[in-house]
Chains A and B, each alone.
Chain A
């Protein structure tokens, strides 16, 4: 059968490798651009290609995470490319945070309360993020998963950076409150 933009997602889900070929053929330019932007000029061409391989592999193995109702595939693969490139750059520079983080600590602005989140709470965190206000959530994801700078986020949304700061602050507070309700016994 011929793969095209109307059926490739479904065909990936049924494990038709022609559909993955289709994605590589049609989205390579975009994926490479995104990776280049993150990795900048100092990297070798092989690194970009290796990272791109990871991106396409992620699409193949996580196609069930793509929400056809919600988003556009083009945007989704771009976000994955950005996420992978940031991760790649971190590893390539042997960032010292390569140790496994078992627990981490949220501090609120006053630094008084501490909320300890253990690794079992991954599902709760996800649920809480999904319950954030829409505008807070996208900013939160861009900042903390895609490592975007505040100025860049502000530029993208066409808003003042203070607004971005406020939304992030609101998002963090929401997350903390949400998780406190879910795991009150941790405190």
Chain B
């Protein structure tokens, strides 16, 4: 039975409580999502499978088929800092920031954009009930406002900070729907460092943001009131950015995608697209539009780290039918062009939904593509004499060069060869004898920008007495459309 994190209540008890929350459907009337029939069929099928396996009581290993590494949120890939590399005092009213929080969080995931340079130092602190919140820095770019903050106390606050600290924020006098990315980490029992962001793309044509932030109760264990007011400007970033109107498009089988705008800022490349479906009755099974996953490469053919791809909004009753944004981190400032290769990931079950001329839906379910993996068993204390090759199908292969354990961390050094080396490199996992992924110590595998296809993975130390499995995918369910490749110039 699952327990709620904070109250230790059983889920069934929480669901009983939820009877008393009156959520009105009209709260969501401004959203146009229409779930496709094929998605519903897929969900129904999943449910039946799950019900069946529960009743037979078999131990099925539920593998996460979605490779999450590229699932970083819009603009900032936010997760926890890996272990306190910087020394912070246990308690101080105003902690001087030695390293930018926003920079740390992004670098942690492999995005080494110059966040330090473009983050504005805010350094405002408020204390209430013996707890000090410091708004350390803020960064505003084309679509988001990101805020880095610290919480300190003389008493332990471990396990007591809830996410969404910044849910009550007014930007330029207007309350924003403050759901963005958020993350944080305890540096020690008394210090928490966090990052929250909200999307600002509804605030048009303004380069300066006046922020009113009221924090009421960090959590039920940490009540109090902390109010802040500060300003953030995206002028600096905009000044150092180039906007290009590519005036080009890609003709996909099911849609036409227009490249409306490309923005190259010091923090990355964002491509704004919009498009229309060719057959409005027959929509994509794979997302907003078919092939809404992209690989990107700079002018030296080096694969760019994807910050945010695949999302967007769609509505067949509007023109254009859909909009989306794809963001990638820069690799080098002087890259003259970027190359895009679209691909799609075919799920393990799929089918098609078609409308006949009377507007009736007809659904045919056909088999999808089961993911095929490459696996190789190793000992926890393996010393490699020669590299281990892990084939990744038509994408290429990985060469595992070295594995060693030191100071409670196992390091794997490897290279990737093929169509998308970074994507391939991020598809490596080590599984323990129960089939669970060994936890990564940090998410950034590309340690040297001058050697972009040489990777280092750091994980929780392997047990020398146990067996493990080197695991990767053959990408057999990836359809990579090299024939639809597009190159866009980055200079005017």
Q: Report which of A78, A142, A168 forms a contact with B217, defined as CB distance below 8 A.
A: A168
Q: Cα distance A97–B66 when bound, in Å?
A: 23
The reply to whether B8 and A60 contact each other, CB–CB distance below 8 Å, is no
Q: Report which of B9, B24, B177 forms a contact with A122, defined as CB distance below 8 A.
A: B9
A98-141 to B contact mask, C-beta < 8 Å, 1/0: 01010011110101000000010110011001100010011001
The reply to whether A106 and B220 contact each other, CB–CB distance below 8 Å, is yes
Known: A43-B311, A97-B159, A126-B9. A36 touches B33 (CB 8 A): yes
Residues of B182-213 contacting chain A, CB below 8 A: 182-186, 199
Residues of B within 8 A of A106 (CB): 220-221
The reply to whether A147 and B66 contact each other, CB–CB distance below 8 Å, is no
B388 at the interface (CB under 8 A from A): no
A71 at the interface (CB under 8 A from B): yes
The reply to whether B220 and A78 contact each other, CB–CB distance below 8 Å, is no
Size of the B side of the interface (Cβ < 8 Å), in residues, is 87
Q: Cα distance A125–B4 when bound, in Å?
A: 12
Known: A37-B31, A44-B310, A93-B182. A141 touches B18 (CB 8 A): yes
- State the total of A-B contacts with C-beta under 8 angstroms: 242
Residues of A within 8 A of B287 (CB): 44-45
Q: Report which of A58, A109, A122, A129 forms a contact with B129, defined as CB distance below 8 A.
A: A109
B107-131 to A contact mask, C-beta < 8 Å, 1/0: 0000000000000000000000110
Q: Cα distance A17–B49 when bound, in Å?
A: 11
Q: Cα distance A93–B194 when bound, in Å?
A: 12
Please tell me which stretch of B72-80, B297-305, B408-416, B470-478 contacts chain A, meaning at least 4 of its Cβ atoms lie within 8 angstroms of it: B72-80
The reply to whether A75 and B23 contact each other, CB–CB distance below 8 Å, is yes
The reply to whether A40 and B199 contact each other, CB–CB distance below 8 Å, is yes
The reply to whether A145 and B78 contact each other, CB–CB distance below 8 Å, is no
The reply to whether A67 and B19 contact each other, CB–CB distance below 8 Å, is yes
Residues of A within 8 A of B4 (CB): 145
The reply to whether B310 and A45 contact each other, CB–CB distance below 8 Å, is yes
B436 at the interface (CB under 8 A from A): no
Residues of B within 8 A of A25 (CB): 40, 44
Binding site for B on A (CB under 8 A): 17, 20-21, 24-25, 28-30, 32-34, 36-47, 49-50, 52-53, 56-58, 60, 62, 64-67, 70-72, 74-76, 78-80, 82-83, 87, 89-90, 92-97, 99, 101, 104-107, 109, 111, 119, 121-122, 125-126, 129-130, 134, 137-138, 141-152, 155-156, 161, 165, 168-169, 172
Binding site for A on B (CB under 8 A): 4-25, 27-28, 31, 33-35, 39-40, 42-44, 46-48, 50-51, 66, 68, 71-75, 78-80, 129-130, 159-164, 167-168, 175, 177-186, 199, 214, 216-217, 220-223, 286-288, 308, 310-313, 325, 347
